[in-house]
Structure 1
Amino acid sequence: MAKLFLLAIPVVIGVITGTFLADFPAETEARTLTSTKLIDNGSPILGSSDAPITILEWGDYQCTFCYRFHQDTLDKIDEDFIKTGKVKLVFKDFPLNGPDSVMAAEASYCANDQKKYWQYHDELYKNWGGEKTGWITRDSLERFAISVELDLEKFNACLDSGKYQNHVLSSYKFGQEIGIDATPSFLIFNDEKVMKIRGNQPLEIFLKSFEEL
């Protein structure tokens, strides 16, 4: 998946909820971004690495609408598209809500050191407690680690070391550079074009993007 992206035919779907589905990025950026560059330094792939369509989700673990996406939409996409090999998902951190979001993102990569990224990722959203309410703490992150059966000594050593802080902040910076400005945001692409969905939109909008690709 190293082909250069080509601009897609503009697609804008307007509905009451303010759906935004359009080509991304600008032409000059489209000629330099590859699928490999987009997903580099993201999460492990959820689904088959050979799936023809990729969803790149930009999210924040404190974000209300990210939580709603995981509650309302992702399960259906997972069941019908990811598990069937049609689509794969990569998550990238865009910690808009400050240091607690950064720390939660770091913890997810410490879990990945033990091959349990997605289990920990899901545990974070399962225990979501609002935006900037103080639910993300060292104690809560440790409880989540216990829930997914991580080696606590290794997990805590990783988190204490700040091993993945630059990784998370680099993801945030890269998102800003390519025009990500809200969570959740999604880049959905194949080897020929890339489309953007901004916000927690209805399942139908994601299905439309799959059809377009």
Structure 2
Amino acid sequence: MKKYYLAIPTAAAIIAIVFFLYPYESEPNQSGSKVLTENGVDHLTPQELIQNGSPLLGDSNAKITIVEWGDYQCTYCHAFHKNTKDQLIQEYVNTGKVNFVFRDFPLNGPDSILAAEASYCGNDQDKYWQYHNELYNNWGGERTGWISQKSLDKFATDVGLDMVQFDKCMNTGKYEQKVLDNQRFGKDIGIDATPSFIIFSDKKITKIVGAQPFLIFKQVIDTI
């Protein structure tokens, strides 16, 4: 993706549209729309928005990027994965119009951090997205204990990872700081709920909060 500066002179200019519609809530429950805050940042580049996250899904030359901040235990993140993401991928990512990045925002405690670490251990074997999808496909609720080393090992086996390499990665905590850094960056730019989405081109940036239906994303993408 080419590097260019996306000027952000005021908090009001950061977000062109903020969607927050019931019952497609986010976590924690919010009572209104949210905007990103500047926090002393004069400029953000596209690279800053995507760096340290997942591998880029889609064409690196796509004119529009979606960055999702999510938690693997989050109810509404799972709802987005189940109800909306596949259509987004089919209609926009696979056609080269949009690329997609996931960044971690583990609101639900240590198990969410552990799951995020496991996804990056999967990436060491070029299977980030397979592992990411496996986590959401096996979602078991919030803080129910479904995320454990045993379950993460099973998911790794199911997507065909080398278990010696995967377990070594997990046991050393190789990606714990990466996950925490993702969350910290999200907080710094005003992310406070999951799922949250930043959709941007070189002309416009928009935030969507919550597990909104496909038509909401379509409306933003087609006008950005």
Q: 1:52 to 1:158 in 2, by over 3 A?
A: same
Name the % identity: 51
Output the CA distance in 1 between the equivalents of 2:17 and 2:66: 17
What secondary structure is seen at the aligned counterpart in 2 of 1:73? helix
Output the CA distance in 2 between the equivalents of 1:120 and 1:94: 17
Question: 1:25: how far off?
Answer: 5.0
Q: Show structure 1 runs of 4+ deviating over 6 A.
A: 18-23
Please tell me whether the aligned partners of residues 19 and 208 of structure 2 are also in contact (alpha carbons under 8 angstroms): no
The runs of 5 or more residues in structure 1 that have no matched partner are none
Question: 1:3: how far off?
Answer: 1.9
**Among 131, 149, 165, which residue is 1:120 paired with?**
131
Deviation sequence 1:166-207 (CA, Å, 0-9, x none): 000000111011100000000000112211001111211111
Output the CA distance in 1 between the equivalents of 2:221 and 2:211: 16
1:4 match? 5
Q: 1:102 to 1:23 in 2, by over 3 A?
A: closer
The runs of 5 or more residues in structure 2 that have no matched partner are 8-12, 26-31
1:132 match? 143
1:195 match? 206
Residue 52 in structure 1 maps to residue 63 in structure 2? yes
Output the CA distance in 1 between the equivalents of 2:121 and 2:34: 35
Question: 1:5: how far off?
Answer: 1.6
Residue 154 in structure 1 maps to residue 156 in structure 2? no
Could you tell me the TM-score, scaled by structure 2's length?
0.88
Residue 144 in structure 1 maps to residue 155 in structure 2? yes
Q: 1:25 to 1:5 in 2, by over 3 A?
A: farther
Output the CA distance in 1 between the equivalents of 2:78 and 2:24: 19
Residue 208 in structure 1 maps to residue 209 in structure 2? no
**Among 176, 179, 191, which residue is 1:168 paired with?**
179
Could you tell me the TM-score, scaled by structure 1's length?
0.92
**Among 99, 106, 109, which residue is 2:110 paired with?**
99
Output the CA distance in 2 between the equivalents of 1:147 and 1:76: 24
1:89 match? 100
One-letter amino acid matched to 1:211: D
Question: 1:4: how far off?
Answer: 1.9
What value does the CA root-mean-square deviation take over the aligned residues? 2.1
One-letter amino acid matched to 2:186: G
